[in-house]
Amino acid sequence: MTTTTTDEQPTSVAVYPPHPRLVNPEGREKPWVSSMAEYEALYKESIEEPSRFWTRMANETLSWDRPFSQVSQGSLKDGDMAWFPDGRLNVAYNCVDRWASKDPSRVAFLYEADEPGQATKVTYGELLAQVCSLANVLTSFGLRKGETVAIYMPMIPEAAVAMLACARLGLVHTVVFAGFSSSSLAERVADARARVVITADEGLRGGRPIRTKAIVDEALKSCPDVEKVLVFRRTGNESVSFSAPRDVWWHEAVAAQRPYCPPVPVSAEDPLFLLYTSGSTGKPKGVVHTSGGYLLGAGLTLKYVFDIHDGDVFCCTADIGWITGHSYVVYGPLALGATSVIFESVPTYPDASRYWRLVEEHKITQFYTAPTAIRALRRHGDDFVTRCDLSSLRVIGSVGEPINPEAWSWYNEVVGGSRCAVVDTYWQTETGSHVITPLPCATPAKPGSATFPFFGVELAILDPTTGVELEGDDVSGVLAIKRPWPSMARTIAGDHKRFLDTYLNPYPGYYFAGDGASRDADGYYWIRGRVDDVINVSGHRMSTAEVESALIGHKAVAESAVVGAPDELTGQAICAFVTLKDGFETTDVLKGELVKEVRTRIGPIATPKTLILVDELPKTRSGKIIRRILRKVVAGEADQLGDLSTLSDPSILDVLITKVAAAL
């Protein structure tokens, strides 16, 4: 145990050193990094001798068509950073050909379809042929290097094939999550100026069909520039509309093409993809990632953070429509020649054992999911997990939001059997790959802390008002990064000024992440949530995540979301929304207990002034709680909720507004 003193930290936090079976494996290769001393030496080299470090990493990890002579140029101050600027490579060649030529029978993707028991394999040899044929189809559409293709597909291997076919030709892809509405899709297709959309007839999730092609048809009514829609047949439902010559069946087009297509070498700085992400206001931003730096970041982080070795089976449950799916379902695993699971279904179909059966069946060695899924599954009880054989697991990861210590412990003990490493990875669409993360065989974990920076990432904690860097340990402020790293976003498509204004101008010379963070007495980093999620009660800064974590410590609580409500006396007051686990009833006694739980766990300063029990919290389709909506509702601004396109179930709003009105 260790004791920390920052007032925002719990007074004592358990520390979990890496399990001995990970550090000293028997009958397996040694871990890439097996001690803190090794991590520190590599980290130091990455900061003090960046040219040497990145030259070695870039040459070890990637295959270059033309070697680079310079590692990086440009600065955060000027927003003109570039990595390996005179190097040339092809991303699809790196992800597919290298492994197919060595061993075509090596498995690239294990595809777990929506219905259990239908898993199929795609080998690197098969993947190469599929990517090449599809690239030839795209060429036949008249597409040339630098043009953008939109991809709106379910979680099937063909979605990855589509991404890689673009990469093979130097085309820029923009994947739009297939849960987005037609209007959101239209907005992105238009902003990206895509002339071609790749989609499927229908998707399947949890046994229910999704009208994918119909949504595309609707979206394209307002996108007159789209000339071709390539349609993969997923369900074969004959009622799906199809209008030639705009619409082309994938299987017919591919059958007409030769399964080889030479890769087009591109500059390391040529864009690989755009990925739209919501800003705090206004229209979504098309974050631009490059070919060289991004691929290196995705591959290198995966290798070190999940300790990937030959023969491992890696499973990331994120949809390819998000950055996590890009970096850790497709590009990271393939850059290493690893086997990656593509999971089409949902964690509770046909029951809450689905993930764990998947682990058992495919002998998954590393598993990566989001706290929201962990909490949801915890709510169903341990039996769904413990009935499965999870002994193949070594590293289990978490991403997307702060993981509360209770969910961390459940993940560690029940899923990991207290014999795996839990890696809480902090990063963003804009960072491209992990920036703060433990290394599984080296870093002693503290539940709820993303721990230490990845190689080459120089962190700073800034005073939010003055922008002054807070030196030393035991400090809190906003998180910033002091120097460029290879996989960082370079710009926002068509709006470099917005890129500068959002990330680089707020604190000149730094990349501003938009998150609050502290560095504790041991130098561990704790992400406190978006800076707009921090509540200020009577001049005391409170992290919503901390109050949420206290609430979830109560046995009745499934999930919680905490926001600041305007308060005449204290500036802001804490307003907590809570959903209960199955079997618990909403009573005033229970509400009182929950408030008490927070008071005892954190202190009277954190007492929620209002506590509202609800059936559902507003969430994005990727499962993040949308606190912005809660903030607006408690501020009496339910008529100004703004862009609701990411809200997965808008029908919950009316009940929410009524409950808040009754409670406040």
Least distance (Å) between residue 620 CB and ligand 6R9: 9
- State in angstroms the smallest separation of the CB of 255 from ligand 6R9: 38
User: According to the binding rule CB under 6 A, does residue 425 interact with ligand 6R9?
Assistant: yes
Strands (E), 383-533: 395-399, 421-425, 459-462, 475-481, 491-492, 511-519, 525-530
Q: 429, 433, 487, 572: which one contacts ligand 6R9 (CB under 6 A)? A: 429
Does residue 47 contact residue 456 with C-beta atoms inside 8 Å? yes
By rule CB under 6 A, what string of x and - marks binding of each residue 431-470 to ligand 6R9? -------------------x--------------------
The helix or strand, by DSSP H or E, that contains position 248, with its residue range, turns out to be: strand 247-249
Question: Which residue's beta carbon is nearest to the bound ligand 6R9?
Answer: 429
- H-helix or E-strand spanning residue 546: helix 544-552
Q: In residues, how long is the chain? A: 664
Q: Which region, judged by CB under 6 A, interacts with ligand 6R9, from 239-247, 290-298, 497-505, 513-521?
A: 513-521
Listed ranges 210-218, 343-351, 396-404, 605-613: which one lies at the site for ligand 6R9 (CB under 6 A): 396-404
The residue (of 151 and 287) whose beta carbon lies closer to ligand 6R9 is: 287
Q: How crowded is the C-beta side of 467, counted as CA atoms within 13 Å?
A: 10
Q: Which of residues 269-308 bind ligand 6R9 (CB under 6 A)?
A: 277
Q: Dihedrals φ, ψ of 527, to 5°?
A: -85, 130
State the first-to-last Cα distance of the chain, in angstroms, to the nearest integer: 41
Q: How many CA atoms lie within 13 A of 298 on its CB side?
A: 32
Does residue 8 touch ligand 6R9 according to CB under 6 A?
A: no
Considering beta carbons, is residue 347 or 438 the nearer one to ligand 6R9? 438
485 binds ligand 6R9 (CB under 6 A): no
SS3 content of the chain, % helix, strand, coil (to 5): 35, 25, 45
Would you say 43 or 328 has its CB closer to ligand 6R9?
328
Applying CB under 6 A, among 147, 515, 520, 597 the residue interacting with ligand 6R9 is 515
Contact 129, 161 (CB under 8 A): no
As measured in angstroms, the least distance from the Cβ of 662 to ligand 6R9 is 31
Instruction: For ligand 6R9, give the closer residue by CB, 331 or 426.
Output: 426
CA distance 537 to 549: 18
Please, which residue, 113 or 442, has the CB nearer to ligand 6R9?
A: 442
Backbone torsions φ then ψ of 90, nearest 5 degrees: -125, 130
Binding of ligand 6R9 by 563 (CB under 6 A): no
- Please give the residues from 226 up to 245 whose contact with ligand 6R9 meets the rule CB under 6 A: none
**Minimal distance, residue 563 CB to ligand 6R9, in Å:** 15
Given the complex with ligand 6R9, which of 168 and 627 has the nearer CB atom? 627
User: Rounded CA gap, 418 and 5, in Å?
Assistant: 27
Decide if residue 400 touches ligand 6R9 (CB under 6 A).
yes
Strand order in the sheet with 395-399: 120-123, 107-112, 339-343, 313-316, 366-369, 395-399, 421-425
Rounded Cα distance, 205 and 614, in Å: 26
Among 97, 187, 202, 401, the residue binding ligand 6R9 under the rule CB under 6 A is 401
Contact with ligand 6R9 (CB under 6 A) among 428, 451, 560, 579: 428
Residue 266 has which token pair? 């591109």
With 0-12 CB in 10 A as exposed, 13-18 as middle and 19+ as buried, what is 387?
A: exposed
Distance (Å, rounded) from C-alpha 598 to C-alpha 30?
44
From 427, 452, 485, 499, residue interacting with ligand 6R9 (rule: CB under 6 A) = 427
319 binds ligand 6R9 (CB under 6 A): no
598: its two tokens: 């927070």
Measured from the CB atom, the residue of 94 and 549 that comes closer to ligand 6R9 is 549
Handedness of CA 377, 378, 380, 381 (dihedral sign): positive
530 counts as binding ligand 6R9 under rule CB under 6 A: yes
> What whole-number distance in Å separates Cα of residue 655 and Cα of residue 664?
14
Among 426, 452, 507, 511, binds ligand 6R9 (CB under 6 A): 426
As measured in angstroms, the least distance from the Cβ of 400 to ligand 6R9 is: 4
- Kindly state whether residue 97 participates in binding ligand 6R9, applying the rule CB under 6 A: no
Secondary structure (H, E, C), 25-47? CCCCCCCCCCCHHHHHHHHHHHH
Residue type, 407: A
How many CB atoms are located within 10 Å of the residue 262 CB?
A: 11
198-212 b/e with 16+ CB inside 10 Å = b? bbbbbbbbeeeebbb
424 binds ligand 6R9 (CB under 6 A): yes
Binding residues with ligand 6R9: total (CB under 6 A): 19
Closer to ligand 6R9 by CB, 134 or 323: give it: 323
Q: Is residue 324 a contact residue for ligand 6R9 (CB under 6 A)?
A: yes
Span from 110-118, 174-182, 183-191, 419-427 in contact with ligand 6R9 (CB under 6 A): 419-427
Contact pick of 399, 435, 459, 660 for ligand 6R9 (by CB under 6 A): 399
H or E element, residue 214: helix 212-220
Segment lying near ligand 6R9 (by CB under 6 A), choices 470-478, 511-519, 554-562, 646-654: 511-519
| Amino acid, res. 369 | T
- Binding window for ligand 6R9 (CB under 6 A); candidates: 220-228, 242-250, 512-520, 639-647: 512-520
Nearer to ligand 6R9, 325 or 347 (CB): 325
Least Å from the CB of residue 143 to ligand 6R9: 28
Q: Could you please report the per-residue DSSP string of 568-597?
A: TTTEEEEEEEEEEPTT----HHHHHHHHHH
Could you say whether residue 18 binds ligand 6R9 (CB under 6 A)?
no
Distance from C-alpha of 77 to C-alpha of 516, rounded to nearest angstrom:
21
Nearer to ligand 6R9, 84 or 427 (CB): 427
For residue 83, state whether it binds ligand 6R9 (rule: CB under 6 A): no
* Contact footprint for ligand 6R9 (CB under 6 A): 277, 323-324, 399-402, 424-429, 450, 513-515, 527, 530
